[in-house]
A and B are shown apart, each in its own frame.
Chain A
Amino acid sequence: MINLHWVYALGGAMWAAFAVLSLRDRTNRQRFGNALLWALVAISFWFGDEIGDLGNGVLVLAIALVAGANLIGRSVGGSTKIEERFELARRYGNKLFLPALIIPITAFVGTLLFTYTPLKGSGLFDPKSVTLVLLGLGVLIALAVCYFWLKPPVLAPLQEGRHLMDAIGWAALLPQMLAALGAVFAAAGVGNIVGGVAGSIIPSGSVFLAVLLYALGMVAFTMIMGNAFAAFPVMAAAIGIPILIHGAGANPAVIGAVGMLAGFCGTLMTPMAANFNIVPAALLELKDQYGVIKAQIATAIPLLIVNILILYFAGYVWAH
Chain B
Amino acid sequence: MTYLPLLGIALVVLGFALRFNPLLVVLVSAVATGLLSGMHFVQVLSAVGKGFNDNRSITVVFLVLPVIGLLERYGLQQRARSIIESMRGATAGRLLITYLAFRQVFAALGLTSVAGHPQTVRPLVTPMAEAAAEKEHGKLDEATSEKVKALSAATDNVGAFFGEDIFVAVGSVLLIQGSMAGFGIVLTPIQLSLWAIPTAIAAFLIHGARLLWFDRGLRKSSPGRGGEPAAQRTVEGVHRRAASTLGPLHHPSDGPPPRSGEEL
A275 contact from B26, B39, B58, Cβ within 8 A: B58
Q: Which residues of B232-264 are within 8 A (CB) of A? A: 256, 258-264
Q: Given A241-B183, A303-B206, check contact A156 B76 (CB 8 Å).
A: no
Q: Are A190 and B42 within 8 A (Cβ)? A: no
How would you classify the secondary structure of chain B's contact residues: helix, strand, loop or mixed? helix
Q: Are A67 and B23 within 8 A (Cβ)? A: yes
Q: Which residue of A lies closest to B125 (CB)?
A: A284
A108 contact from B48, B79, B114, Cβ within 8 A: B114
Contact flags A80-117 to B (C-beta < 8 A → 1, else 0):
11101111111111101101100110011001000000
Which chain A residues border B52 with CB–CB below 8 Å?
A: 44, 56-57, 59-60, 176-177, 179-180
Q: Given A146-B70, A165-B65, check contact A4 B57 (CB 8 Å).
A: yes
Which chain A residues border B193 with CB–CB below 8 Å?
A: 257
A-B Cβ contacts below 8 A, count = 454
Which chain A residues border B260 with CB–CB below 8 Å?
A: 285
**What are some 24 contacts across the A-B interface (CB < 8 A)?**
A55-B49, A57-B45, A64-B21, A82-B263, A89-B78, A90-B82, A93-B79, A129-B57, A139-B64, A139-B66, A163-B69, A165-B62, A177-B23, A177-B52, A185-B5, A232-B175, A252-B180, A257-B194, A280-B156, A284-B121, A292-B153, A298-B210, A299-B210, A303-B199
**One of B87-95, B133-141, B184-192, B221-229 at the interface:** B184-192
Q: Are B27 and A190 within 8 A (Cβ)? A: no
A299 contact from B20, B72, B173, B206, Cβ within 8 A: B206
Q: State in angstroms the CA–CA spacing of A162 and B49 once bound together.
A: 25
Q: Which residues of A134-148 are within 8 A (CB) of B? A: 134-136, 139, 142-143, 146
Q: Are A152 and B73 within 8 A (Cβ)? A: yes
Other CB < 8 Å A-B pairs besides A64-B23, A146-B70, A184-B48, 20 of them? A14-B66, A48-B56, A74-B256, A86-B82, A96-B79, A104-B111, A139-B66, A159-B69, A175-B55, A179-B54, A183-B48, A188-B39, A189-B37, A236-B183, A256-B192, A257-B173, A258-B198, A259-B176, A281-B150, A307-B202
Which chain A residues border B44 with CB–CB below 8 Å?
A: 57, 184
Which chain B residues border A4 with CB–CB below 8 Å?
A: 57
A237 to chain B, nearest CB (A): 8
